[in-house]
Structure 1
Amino acid sequence: MCLLVVEDGVSTRDVLEQIDELHKLTEKPREEFIVVPPFKHKPEHFKMFNVCTMEEIFSTLRDLSEKDYKPPQKRCAGKPTTEMEAQTSKSFISGVCDYFKRSSTEKRNGSNENLSDTKVNLVLLGMSGTGKSATGNTILGKTILEKTKFLSEASSMPVTTECQAAETEINGTRVRVIDTPDMFDDEMNSSVRNHHVTQCRQLCQSDPCVYLLVIQVGRFTDGERGILKKVEAAFDLKAEKQKNKKIIILFTCGENLQRKKMSLQVFLQKCHPALSEIVEQCDRRCVVFENKTSRQHQVTELMQTVNRMLNKQQNQ
C-alpha cells in the first residue's frame, strides 16, 4: 500500500501517469496506490482512484494513537535505539498500513455501486457512435444507480471524452465495465491517445481483462478496417497463432438484423471481407446487442462467451 500525495492543480491525467511510472518502478499493483488529494478538491475529479483524504489520515492517526500502536518517544541525539523501541516503531508503521488497507477495502465494499475484488474487467473499445456507452449501460443493468451510468445520447460530436468505470454483479460474477472514448481516430494526437490508454489500464484493476470491440451492424467504415491491429498495438495484445485470445466482437443495433429477419451467422457470411477477417482473427467470438430494449439474455450470452474464452485460456 502506497500513499500518493497530490499537489493542488494536478490533473487526473498527471495522476494516472505518476501511478503508471511508480508501478513500473516499484512493480507494485496499480490498485495499491492510494491517492491523497489536496484539501480543496472536487471529489468527482478523483473518483476513479482509491482515495484517502487528509482528514481521513489525521482521523486514522488519532484512532491509532488511542489503541495499541504507540509511536516511539523522542530520543537524544546519538543514543542507540533499543530492540524493543525498534519493534514498537515497526508495529506502529505496520498498524498504520493495515488500517489504511482495511479502510480502503471497506470503502470499496460499502455498496454495490463500487464493488471490490473485481473478477472480470470488460473494456469497451471502438469508434465514436458505435454504441459503447449504451452497451455498457445494458451490461450494468437496471439495478445500477443512475449516477453511475455512462452518458449515452445521440450527438454529432463524441459524447465520451474520458475513460470511466462502473461495477455490477452478473450471475454471481463481479464485473467491472470500462467505457472509453474513440482512441483509434487517425487524426488524434499520439499524446492524447497514450493518455486514454494509460487511463484505461489504470481502471483495469486486476486480471482477467476482456476487450469488447464494439461495431455497429450495417456500418463498417474505412477507419475500422485496421482497428484490430490498433487495439492489439495499444494494449500489447499479440495474437498467438493468428488468433487473438482476449477480444470479443460485440455488434450493436441488433434490431436491424431483426427487421431483416437475418441471423448473425447469415450477416457474417454476407459482411464486408475486411470485417469478416476481423471476426476470424478473433476466433469468431461474436455477440449481438439491442441497446434500445433491455434484454437480459444478451448479457447472459455475453458472459457465457467471456467465460468460455477465459476457461479456454486457462486450459491451454
Structure 2
Amino acid sequence: MSHCKRISVVVLGSEDHLKKALITVIVGKELPLLPKTNVLKKTDIYENDIYEVKCPSDTACDDLKKVFAANHDPDMSLLVVKEGFSPDKVWQQVENLHRITGKPTEKFIVVLPFGCKESDRYPFKCYTMDHLFSELTHLAQDRHLMPTNVRKRITDQHASSTPTSPSPMMEGFTDSRKRLKRNPSGTEVNLVLLGMTGTGKSASGNTILGEKRFTSKASSKPVTTECQQAETVINGRRVRIIDTSDIFYDERKSSSGEHVRKVKELCQSGPCVYLLVIHVSRFTDGERDILEKLGKVFGSKVREQTVILFTRGKDLEQGGMSFEDFLHRCQPDLKKIVEKCGGRCVLFENSDSGPDQVEKLMEIVDRMLK
C-alpha cells in the first residue's frame, strides 16, 4: 500500500444521525455512540486505510477554527442537509462557516438528500451522493490509495455495515455505497455514444451519469458539435462517457475525421464499448447501413463492441407495446442491426432517470468485459 497522505474529510451539519450515516459509509464501519443515544461520541478522527473524517460541532467556533486552520486544510468539507431543506437557510449556514473559518464559501460542499439533483440555481456548491462518492474515489485513486486488494477490503467492510436510523438520506447513502463498492474489480471502461442527430445521445449520457453534464435539447441540427467527455463511478468501475457529434451529418463531413480521432485518442486508456443510440419510434434510411459506416471508421470488429441503446421508451408504453414485442416486430433492417450486435440492446427513457435502466446497461457492459 502506498504511504500517500489519506483523504481528509470534514462532515458538518445540524442533523447528527445524517452525519453519522455519511461517515459510516465513507469509513465502512459502525461508529462509537454515546450510550442509549444516537449521538456520535467526541473523537479526534474516524478513519480507515484511505479516508480520515473529522466531525466538529457546528456551534463550537474554536473546534471549527482548529480544523480549518491553514495546516489542517481538509480535502473535502461536506455540509449534510435533510430532506426538504431551505436553500436560503443552507446558504446562511455556508456563510456562517465562511465567517468562522475564513475559508471561501465554495470550499463547503452541500451533500444533497437522496432524490435531489444538482442545480446551478442554488447559491452554494452542491453534490449528489453519487457525485460525492465519485469524487472521493477519484481522489483516492489519484493518490494511489486504492489498489485492488485494498478496494476489495473496503467493499467487504461496506457490505457488512448496516448503519442505524434509516431515513430518506440514509437510503441514498446505501444506494451510493452499493454503486461505488459492489464490484471491486476497478476496471475502467469508455462508453462512446454514437448515432444520428436527434436520437438522444447527450440525454442518454446524462442519464448514465445521473446528472446533466451534456447539453441536450430537441433540434433538427446537431446540438453537440464537439466531442465531450464526463466521468462517474458505477458498480465500483470508473466509467467515462464520451458524447459525440453526428459524424455522419452531411454538413459536418469535413470535421468528422477530427471527432473520430478524438474518440480514438480518449479510448486508448481502458476498454471501449460503443453505444449506438437509436430513436425507438424513428428508424431512418441513414441508419440502415450504420454498422457498415461505423466499421469503416472504427474497424471491422466494432459490432462486437456495440450495444444498441434505444431511446424514448415511453413511446412504446403509450402504444401498449413491450420492448420484447418491439424487437420482434421492428423493421427487418433494424432487426438485422440488433442481430449483428449479438442481441445486445437496452431501452432508455431519458425523462425518467431511475437507476434500473442504467443497471441493465451496465450488466450488459459487465458481460462484454469479462
**TM-score, L = length of structure 1:** 0.57
CA-CA distance at 1:237 after TM superposition? 3.6
The answer to whether the 8 A contact 2:247-2:256 is kept is yes
Residue 131 of structure 1 pairs with residue 196 of structure 2: no
Q: Distance in 1 between matches of 2:260 and 2:361?
A: 24
The answer to whether the 8 A contact 2:191-2:241 is kept is yes
Cα deviations by residue, 1:42-70 (Å, 9 ceiling, x for unpaired)? xxxxxxxxxxxxxxxxxxxxxxxxxxxxx
In the alignment, which residue of structure 1 is the partner of 2:309?
250
Q: Distance in 2 between matches of 1:309 and 1:232?
A: 18
CA-CA distance at 1:201 after TM superposition? 1.3
In the alignment, which residue of structure 1 is the partner of 2:78?
none
CA-CA distance at 1:236 after TM superposition? 1.3
Against the structure 1 CA distance between its residues 235 and 301, is the aligned structure 2 distance closer, same or farther, given a 3 Å change threshold? same
The answer to whether the 8 A contact 1:251-1:289 is kept is yes
Q: What amino acid does structure 1 have at the position aligned with 2:322?
A: S
Q: Distance in 2 between matches of 1:286 and 1:155?
A: 25
In the alignment, which residue of structure 2 is the partner of 1:283?
342
Cα deviations by residue, 1:164-196 (Å, 9 ceiling, x for unpaired)? 10000011111000000000234543x411111
Cα deviations by residue, 1:97-122 (Å, 9 ceiling, x for unpaired)? xxxxxxxxxxxx97668987870100
Matches within 5 A, 1:63-102: none
Q: Distance in 1 between matches of 2:201 and 2:349?
A: 12
Q: RMSD over aligned Cα, in angstroms?
A: 2.2
In the alignment, which residue of structure 1 is the partner of 2:245?
181
The answer to whether the 8 A contact 1:112-1:168 is kept is no
Higher RCO structure, 1 or 2 (CA under 8 Å, sep 6+)? 1
Q: Distance in 2 between matches of 1:233 and 1:184?
A: 12
Tell me which of 172, 176, 180 is aligned to 2:236: 172
The answer to whether the 8 A contact 1:216-1:252 is kept is yes
CA-CA distance at 1:155 after TM superposition? 2.2
Q: Distance in 2 between matches of 1:186 and 1:275?
A: 22
In the alignment, which residue of structure 1 is the partner of 2:218?
154
In the alignment, which residue of structure 2 is the partner of 1:34?
none
Cα deviations by residue, 1:245-264 (Å, 9 ceiling, x for unpaired)? 10000000011111122111
The answer to whether the 8 A contact 2:226-2:244 is kept is yes
Q: Distance in 2 between matches of 1:113 and 1:217?
A: 35
Residue 269 of structure 1 pairs with residue 328 of structure 2: yes
Against the structure 1 CA distance between its residues 111 and 150, is the aligned structure 2 distance closer, same or farther, given a 3 Å change threshold? farther
Matches within 5 A, 1:223-234: 223-234=286-297
In the alignment, which residue of structure 2 is the partner of 1:217?
280
Against the structure 1 CA distance between its residues 110 and 310, is the aligned structure 2 distance closer, same or farther, given a 3 Å change threshold? closer
The answer to whether the 8 A contact 2:197-2:220 is kept is no
In the alignment, which residue of structure 1 is the partner of 2:259?
196
Q: Distance in 2 between matches of 1:274 and 1:297?
A: 28
CA-CA distance at 1:210 after TM superposition? 0.1
Q: Distance in 1 between matches of 2:187 and 2:260?
A: 20
Q: What amino acid does structure 1 have at the position aligned with 2:249?
A: D
Q: What amino acid does structure 2 have at the position aligned with 1:256?
A: D
Q: Distance in 2 between matches of 1:271 and 1:110?
A: 42
Matches within 5 A, 1:8-23: none
CA-CA distance at 1:163 after TM superposition? 0.4
CA-CA distance at 1:203 after TM superposition? 2.1
In the alignment, which residue of structure 2 is the partner of 1:296?
355
Q: Secondary structure at the match of 1:212?
A: strand
Q: Distance in 2 between matches of 1:110 and 1:215?
A: 31
CA-CA distance at 1:158 after TM superposition? 1.2
Tell me which of 187, 200, 207 is aligned to 2:270: 207
Tell me which of 190, 194, 197 is aligned to 1:121: 190
Q: Secondary structure at the match of 2:304?
A: coil
- Kindly, what percent of the aligned residue pairs are identical? 56
In the alignment, which residue of structure 2 is the partner of 1:20?
none
Q: Distance in 2 between matches of 1:231 and 1:264?
A: 25
Q: Distance in 1 between matches of 2:214 and 2:255?
A: 21
Q: What amino acid does structure 2 have at the position aligned with 1:216?
A: H
Q: Secondary structure at the match of 1:245?
A: helix
Q: What amino acid does structure 1 have at the position aligned with 2:206?
A: N
Against the structure 1 CA distance between its residues 237 and 140, is the aligned structure 2 distance closer, same or farther, given a 3 Å change threshold? farther
- How many residues get paired? 193
CA-CA distance at 1:205 after TM superposition? 4.2
Q: Distance in 2 between matches of 1:129 and 1:180?
A: 12
Q: Distance in 1 between matches of 2:280 and 2:318?
A: 12
Q: Secondary structure at the match of 2:276?
A: strand
